[in-house]
């Protein structure tokens, strides 16, 4: 290619670049759609980036479930706290469950920045599943903050269930007293039978 042809080609490129006012009308007009995350009725009391794993009992190994922000969300009306975690880019749910009194964070073997706990009903794919989950944080300080928030949430939910069912607790106490009385009555009956035999 000769120098004049190169100069002509460069001049044509410069002319094409000089027109920044190019505007194309869209073929289809899209409307705004309201997307609900189901977090609208909840306040975020804890949020931190982490990596979540689940234990696969068939393969006997830990499998990664996702990396993203783990949140503890407190419902505005009933006050219950749940754990919710979504994957970063897709925002797909990888953990979703209420924190119950039987959930205890145990340190993961060989790591001061991860925790393990059992979940009776983890609602990830619209189906409740029993899972063994592990979560790992960037450092031990973040892991400690998560444990403190998790235990506080567990205590909150525990106090809500005990406050919500005082009648149930009273009936359980009455049942225990009735059981004691029945046990004493049956013991007295057995003693009287033994006395009659003698």
Kindly report, residue by residue over 50-62, the tens digit of the pLDDT. Answer: 999 999 989 899 9
CA 46 – CA 81 distance, rounded (Å): 10
Confidence of residue 138 (pLDDT cuts 50, 70, 90): very high
Q: What is the pLDDT of residue 6?
A: 58
pLDDT of 43 > 90? The answer is: yes
Cβ–Cβ < 8 Å for 96, 123: yes
Q: In the predicted model, is pLDDT for residue 167 greater than 50? A: no
Give pLDDT, residue 124: 83
Give dist(CA 149, CA 141) in Å, integer: 13
pLDDT over 60 (residue 188): no
Average of per-residue pLDDT values in the chain: 80
User: Which secondary structure element, helix H or strand E, spans residue 190, and what is its range?
Assistant: helix 166-197
Please report the pLDDT score of residue 176 as a whole number: 46
Measure the CA–CA gap between 83 and 75, rounded to whole angstroms.
Answer: 11
């Amino acid at each position: 290619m000769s120098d004049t042809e190169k100069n002509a080609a460069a001049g044509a490129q410069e002319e094409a670049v000089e027109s920044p006012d190019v505007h194309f009308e869209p073929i289809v007009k899209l409307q705004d759609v309201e997307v609900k995350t189901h977090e609208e009725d909840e306040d975020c009391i804890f949020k931190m980036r982490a990596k979540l794993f689940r234990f696969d009992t068939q393969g006997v190994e830990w499998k990664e479930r996702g990396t993203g922000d783990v949140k503890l969300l407190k419902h505005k009306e009933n006050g219950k706290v749940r754990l919710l975690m979504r994957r970063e880019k897709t925002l797909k749910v990888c953990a979703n469950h209420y924190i119950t009194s039987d959930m205890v964070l145990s340190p993961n073997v060989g790591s001061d920045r991860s925790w393990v706990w059992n979940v009776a009903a983890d609602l990830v794919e619209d189906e409740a599943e029993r899972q063994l989950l592990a979560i790992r944080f960037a450092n031990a300080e973040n892991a400690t903050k998560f444990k403190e928030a998790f235990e506080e949430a567990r205590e909150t939910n525990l106090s809500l269930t005990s406050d919500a069912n005082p009648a149930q607790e009273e009936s359980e106490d009455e049942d225990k007293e009735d059981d004691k009385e029945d046990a004493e009555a049956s013991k007295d009956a057995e003693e009287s039978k033994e006395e009659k035999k003698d």
